Amino acid sequence: MNRKLLWAVLVIGLGLVIAPFALGLPGKSAAGQRMLNGFQPIMQPQQVQITADYYNNVFVPLGKVTPMMSAQNLAKFQAYMKGFSGMQSDAAKLVPLLAQALRMTPAQVQTLMATQLPSMAAMLQNLPAMQRDFDGLLGTMQQNTGIFSRVPAGLAHYRPLVQTMQADVDNYKQVNSLPDFRLFTVFFAVPGALLILLAGYGLFGNPFVRFSFHHHARPTAA
């Protein structure tokens, strides 16, 4: 075989062996395989469909609720709560005033209201509980107003992610069907080593054979 060709084969073999390590292929291919393994449960068609369903049918509709949880609405509801407090104070005076005006006892007035105005009587009776419930609701709104204000931006941020996952289900399946990425170094290094041995044998012969020949050959006595 032409010695120039053998030298070219030797250089190619050395390149195939050295290049993967010079490029950090062992570590990078291992990282790529870990990434594929990590995304494997998430990128299954059924899981991608569930993710898209949550985004489109749960989170996007919730985004339409966020204007109700604004700081402006919170201030408005807090003003309403002040009215509730005043109403509760007035309600405590209502029965005695009616009893005096109608010349009835407070118990008689309460019975009359329960009979003739049952809805109003029930509302007046439930005012303390209503105030506690609204206080809790407003407290929750106040604690989460900042979070709800970020929901529209969050939805816009995650929309490309969900769309990309849906578009790349088949692409991921094809990439994930490749051999383990950690074998890529072997795919380069083993052929490179074989080329080095082949070129080295052609250029230098078998050094082990030459060593054995010179070791066993003895000059004959004169």
pLDDT (tens digit per residue) in 111-131: 988 898 898 888 888 888 888
Reported pTM = 0.61
User: What count of other Cβ atoms lies within 10 Å of the Cβ of residue 1?
Assistant: 10
DSSP helix/strand/coil, 78: helix
Q: How far is CA 63 from CA 66, 89, 106, 153, in A?
A: 5, 38, 50, 10
Q: Contact at 8 Å (CB) between 203 and 14?
A: no
Q: What's the pLDDT score for residue 83?
A: 75
Q: Residue type for 125, please? A: Q
Q: What's the pLDDT score for residue 219?
A: 52
Q: Contact at 8 Å (CB) between 71 and 145?
A: yes
CA distance 158 to 106: 61
Residues constituting the chain? 222
Q: What's the pLDDT score for residue 206?
A: 59
* pLDDT level of residue 172 (50, 70, 90 thresholds): very high
* pLDDT level of residue 6 (50, 70, 90 thresholds): confident
Task: Name the residue with higher pLDDT: 169 or 207.
Answer: 169
